Structure 1
Amino acid sequence: MRKVYRPLGFSKGYNFPLFVIFAGAIFGFVLARISYLNVTGTSARSFRKSAAPGEWYFFHQGHYRVGIILHLAGCLPAGFLAVWQFVPVIRHKALLFHRINGYVVILLSLIANAGALMIARRAFGGGLDVQSVVGVLAILTTTSLALAYYNIKRLQIDQHRAWMLRAWFYFGTIITTRLFMLASAAIITRSGNYYQVQTCGEVAFNFGGAWTNPRTLPPPTLKMYPQCVNGTNDTPIVVNANMNGLPEQIGAGLGLSFGMALWLALIVHALGVEWYLWLTPAESARLRNVSYERQLEAGFRNPGNAGLTVDRWGDAPAFQPTKTVSLKPMEEK
């Protein structure tokens, strides 16, 4: 294994498998969704064709259309570029690329967050659970990126590492969310007594028609929602969640599950990244000493504590440098 991970700059055996699992998941997810950058296309893999039933009804026009374009144009390239930020050999031997790429990733991430906030009202049904968790995610990721940026400008490398890890673990919740959402949708389908409120226009849009022209709709749909025959596009109807049913029923199953799944995934990821940071104090200590050296060379007044360190804001013991270290792993000295 050392022959594989040492050339990439990994100095510890546990880091490389974790990188493959978590960075690989983000990289694979982005590659699987990269075709979504063709937002309005007619191909089977464009976002328009792959969106959950009912979503394109809102996203095809107005500020929701702008929001989904911003979100996809920001998050997909950001996810692709962010993976390279966590490859040690790039940080050690291509520092200029690491810095420029980092600025680009932060900018794209902020654009993606802006787009997510714009579409939260209609994403997978847009319930209050969805809107609240999207807002929390936007706050957590934006704050983490801002703190990571501040700390690296203050040469506090240990805190930069911690906040960048937090930011991308929070962003990664969307992947785990898919697993929880599909499992939940299957469960409520078996239950058979979960329902979502949609509109006649949403249901009709799935078949390329409108309730103003009922002839474009399949007869079973007209029988299931008779209140829409003399209604309008905005007439509310109750749709049963059924992943084996009609498009609007599949959309109901996904919509009812999405908010819960996103909250659950966020909790798992937030706890997971703190657990990882808690289990790697030696790496934090090494980078704290590196920060001390860099800040001392730069003439900072309080080397070792120029960033947002705990002993500046809490009751931790004052930092004392232990030894001269290098930012590069031992084998590269």
Structure 2
Amino acid sequence: MALKISHNVWWRKAYQAAGFRKGYNFPLFIIFAGSMLGFSLARISYLNIGGNASSSYKKGAAPGEWYWYREGLARVGISIHLGCIIPAGVLMVWQFVPVIRHKFILLHRINGYIVIVLVMISNTGAFLIIRRSFGGTLPTQAAMGLLIILSTISIAMAYYNIKRLQIEQHRAWMLRAMFYLGVIITTRIIMVIAAQVSTAVGKYYVPMICDEIVFVQDSLTQNNTMYPQCSIANMSVDGMIAVAANFGSDRKEQLQASLELNFGMAAWLSIFLHTIGVEIYLNLTPAEGERLRRVSYAKQLEAGMRNPGSAGLTVDRWGDADEWIVPAEDT
């Protein structure tokens, strides 16, 4: 009994030290913010985009990606995207630490502006590379395009609401933005699992151009031996041939094919999971939303805004909902 009490006291001290009011928020923060921070830190070496170090993006990216990104507009796009989104991933998690928001308000604001700018610029870079990202299939392009739209709108909504001192809406939209940006982490997990499953099932093929296969293998002789169609005139379709999707193969183009085959599906499934997940969380924490709305009311009233409590983008002003009533103790 004493051990249980001691454990509860330790746990309460731990999450309260970080500024969390509820015990359930702390493990959720560790899981989701920790994943974002860990993933971003693990990708810092990718800021060395075209270097020959083993940790650079050129060497560490999925096979075939560098073929498309090594020059031209795609090179500009990947440089912009990685150069902005990796630092943004490291910085954004600190926006959700309550003790920073409460005791270091200026730091919270400055960091928030930096994150917003970095994400917006990174989305521009992402737009430039989606045509070639993991094969650039239409499902992949649509999924990546949707992510750009979702994250951009969420951050814009969060920014507008905080400028209107609508804090509970700012919280909701920033949470959505972070969950949307975290889709890429879940996508990679699902993609690897699905690649192994599709390899076990077998008989999956992906169209790939001969020049890309030669680039990946770095051997014209091996390519002509494995894919003689590439060396014989009129034996390929627009220079493309079918490559077996095999995640366990020692041939890089087959590994690449298995990733390209599953990336689009993994991205759509991840978008679904993250979208549903964040909305479930927001709907399960109405008390926190109501508490912050009271704070919004007080700040908006002090600032002399019209419709205090609903000066931002709230559902009672812009949707079909009952008008928000100021609690008696706040009047």
TM-score range, shorter chain: over 0.9
The 8 Å contact of residues 289 and 324 in structure 1, kept in 2 or not, is answered as no
Question: 2 CA distance for matches of 1:67 and 1:103?
Answer: 22
Please tell me whether residue 238 in structure 1 is matched to residue 242 in structure 2. Answer: yes
In the TM superposition, residue 229 of structure 1 has moved relative to its aligned partner by 1.3
In the TM superposition, residue 208 of structure 1 has moved relative to its aligned partner by 2.8
The match for 1:226 among 222, 225, 228 is: 228
Which deviates further from its counterpart, 104-113 or 316-325? 316-325
Q: Secondary structure at the match of 2:206?
A: strand
Match for residue 164 of structure 2? 154
Match for residue 187 of structure 1? 197
AA paired with 1:290?
V
Question: 2 CA distance for matches of 1:280 and 1:273?
Answer: 11
Which deviates further from its counterpart, 232-241 or 280-289? 232-241
Question: 1 CA distance for matches of 2:328 and 2:245?
Answer: 61
User: Deviations along 1:27-46, whole A, 9 cap, x unmatched?
Assistant: 01011111111101111111
AA paired with 2:252?
P
Pairs within 5 Å for 1:106-145: 106-145=116-155
> TM-score by structure 1 length?
0.93
Which deviates further from its counterpart, 38-47 or 248-257? 38-47
Residue ranges of structure 2 left out of the alignment (5+ in a row): 1-10
The structure, 1 or 2, with the larger RCO (C-alpha pairs under 8 Å, 6+ apart) is 1
Which deviates further from its counterpart, 45-54 or 286-295? 45-54
Match for residue 30 of structure 1? 40
Match for residue 268 of structure 2? 263
Q: Choose between structure 1 and 2: higher helix proportion.
A: 2
The 8 Å contact of residues 23 and 83 in structure 1, kept in 2 or not, is answered as yes
Residue ranges of structure 1 left out of the alignment (5+ in a row): 326-333
Identity over aligned pairs, percent? 57
The match for 2:255 among 250, 259, 264 is: 250
In the TM superposition, residue 192 of structure 1 has moved relative to its aligned partner by 1.4
> TM-score by structure 2 length?
0.93
Q: How many residues align?
A: 317
Question: 1 CA distance for matches of 2:176 and 2:233?
Answer: 48
Question: 2 CA distance for matches of 1:306 and 1:43?
Answer: 52
Question: 2 CA distance for matches of 1:172 and 1:55?
Answer: 21
The 8 Å contact of residues 74 and 129 in structure 2, kept in 1 or not, is answered as yes
1:312/1:303 CA distance change after superposition, 3 Å:
same
Question: 1 CA distance for matches of 2:185 and 2:208?
Answer: 26
The 8 Å contact of residues 78 and 125 in structure 2, kept in 1 or not, is answered as yes
Q: Secondary structure at the match of 1:6?
A: helix
The 8 Å contact of residues 217 and 253 in structure 2, kept in 1 or not, is answered as no
Please tell me whether residue 98 in structure 1 is matched to residue 108 in structure 2. Answer: yes
User: Deviations along 1:264-307, whole A, 9 cap, x unmatched?
Assistant: 00000000000000000000000000000000000001100100
Match for residue 316 of structure 1? 321
Match for residue 328 of structure 1? none
Question: 1 CA distance for matches of 2:328 and 2:78?
Answer: 50
